[in-house]
Homo-oligomer: A and B are copies of this chain.
């Protein structure tokens, strides 16, 4: 059985897989090797290289493991038609992303950029606005694995958490839950609004200028899901109109963000160039999930972690 990678784990990680699964023929390439794919049973990818034509030629392909959370660039229709198992690494992002979200929230609340500016001028200034996270309210739109971890940490800081998803069904570490329909009603309550929504038909364009207008003027809006949640022109206008105080953006309509994009120089925008999920532990954790799933696969079991419902796209 052949397993093809389109990225190169570190040597010790490759050796560890080879030793642990001697019955498997591992082929590691730094990009997609089309020839090898034709005879591979399993394909491990970051999810941006697979085209519909590849699926057509990969007659033996039974499982695609995406070492990422976003699946927008995957040929989902072709995968569904062939009934190929699709799994991702949902959940391994939760620790680095939640830490990144908390870092930005606390940095803003404690005025760290102003403190750094004063230091550059050797200026001992105690006039630094510093508000507390304790006692505030956060709205988490899309409280899955990552949102739950954010909610857990925010609750530790004494923050009231409101979750918002399609159905309004309960989610972990949320003090309250509402559905997308009630979004506008809860926006005025939130000091921090965090979206961690994937890109689906229901989420694209979900937030409009009117939504930002209904937020607190002191609100911090954070987009850690996908850039197409909103029209960037709407957010820009809302920031210029001071509808909200800050936007922290990890995702954008077009990435990389073009160098002349107005967001770069707006004083109330913080650009985290889609790095919030980065971690020195990333590949280690991805391969742990992969190894557990591979064990199930080899044992012909069906208890796979992070199986994607291809029709929903997440």
Which residues of A approach B to under 8 Å, CB–CB? 95-96, 99-100, 102-104, 106-107, 109-110, 112-113, 115-116, 118-119, 122-126, 128, 130-134, 152-153, 156-158, 255-257, 259-261, 264-265, 270-275, 278-281
| Residue numbers in B under 8 Å from A264 (CB-CB) | 119, 122
Query: Number of copies of this chain in the oligomer?
Result: 2
Name the one of B103, B107, B153, B273 contacting A124, with C-beta atoms under 8 angstroms. Answer: B273
| Residue numbers in B under 8 Å from A115 (CB-CB) | 270-273, 275
Which chain B residue has the least Cβ–Cβ distance from A130?
Answer: B278
Give complex CA distance A122, B131 in Å: 29
If over half of A's interface residues share one DSSP class (helix, strand or loop), that class is named, otherwise mixed; here it is loop
Query: Is the Cβ of B278 less than 8 Å from the Cβ of A96?
Result: no
A115 CB to closest chain B CB (Å) equals 6
| Residue numbers in B under 8 Å from A116 (CB-CB) | 113, 116, 270
Query: Is the Cβ of A99 less than 8 Å from the Cβ of B280?
Result: no
Give complex CA distance A280, B131 in Å: 6
| Residue numbers in B under 8 Å from A99 (CB-CB) | 106, 109-110, 132-134, 157
A257 CB to closest chain B CB (Å) equals 6
Query: Is the Cβ of A103 less than 8 Å from the Cβ of B96?
Result: no
Smallest CB-CB A-B distances: 8 pairs: A103-B106, A124-B256, A156-B156, A122-B264, A103-B110, A122-B259, A124-B273, A119-B271
| Residue numbers in B under 8 Å from A275 (CB-CB) | 115, 126, 128, 130
Q: A106-B106, A122-B265 are in contact. Are A130 and B256 (CB under 8 A)?
A: no
Which chain B residue has the least Cβ–Cβ distance from A259?
Answer: B122
Give complex CA distance A112, B110 in Å: 13
Query: Is the Cβ of A103 less than 8 Å from the Cβ of B95?
Result: no
| Residue numbers in B under 8 Å from A274 (CB-CB) | 126
Name the one of B95, B152, B260 contacting A134, with C-beta atoms under 8 angstroms. Answer: B95
Query: Is the Cβ of B130 less than 8 Å from the Cβ of A273?
Result: no
Give complex CA distance A96, B110 in Å: 9
A138 CB to closest chain B CB (Å) equals 14
| Residue numbers in B under 8 Å from A104 (CB-CB) | 110, 112
Give complex CA distance A273, B112 in Å: 12
| Residue numbers in B under 8 Å from A110 (CB-CB) | 99-100, 103-104
